[in-house]
Amino acid sequence: MSSFVAAVRKRANETFLQESFQWFDRSYLVDWAFATLAWILAWMIKGLPPFEREFSADDPLISHANRPNTIGGDLTWWLALLVPLGTIAVIGMLKVSAVEIHHGFLGLWAARGYNALVTEALKNRVAVSRVEDYRHHKEDVIVGSLIGIGAATVSYLIYWPSPFTLQGNDLQKGASRPRIVYRDSEQERTRHDYNYELAGMEHATEEV
């Protein structure tokens, strides 16, 4: 096992050069654990019997011909999880950045897990679901969408800076510099590469 870990670490050092996994902190394992727990709880709640509300067979809102789902359950997994994971991996490899791959995976995993937990817990209590195919009310979808947007936004901002953050007169690229959540970065707190808040005489001619 130790030889396998050593081989993986060596390969990572060769692939990601000096960056490697020096930024990694054990506290990230807690984030992974909580996000995974959200997935497990959502799966358990999904198996509970939902509330069955009364309805009238003459209700015009449900008097439409039955039709198959436009987007099936398997396809939603591809679109909402596997495709983003693949995109994150490809971009991270192109930029040779292990931290961007890790933060991208963790952010997506957490957003999907927390979103699944909240929506599963709510919709099994009030019988809400999609309005497509004339099965449910549009209000249900609006509320679910807001929950998903909120979960995704919080998970993103934990590990990535806001794409609208201003630094000087330039607009930062939101996906270019992931946050180092559990360790201080000296370069983030200083404006120069020599790690001093005040410049020496040899740097007096540099533009500020």
As a residue count, the chain comes to 208
State the chain's mean pLDDT as an integer: 73
Among 146-150, 174-178, 180-184, the least confident range? 174-178
pLDDT digits (tens, 9 = 90+) for 58-89: 888 777 887 888 887 778 878 888 889 999 98
pLDDT digits (tens, 9 = 90+) for 89-131: 898 888 878 888 888 999 999 988 888 888 777 665 555 555 5
User: How would DSSP label each residue in 6-25?
Assistant: HHHHHHHHHHHTTTTTTT--
Residue 109 CA, distance from chain mean position: 6
- Rounded Cα distance between 118 and 114, Å, is 6
Question: To the nearest 5 percent, what fractions of the chain are helix, strand and coil?
Answer: 60, 0, 40
pTM for the whole thing? Answer: 0.54
Beta bridge partners of 167: 170
Phi, psi dihedrals of residue 113, rounded to the nearest 5°:
-65, -50
Cβ–Cβ < 8 Å for 146, 72? no
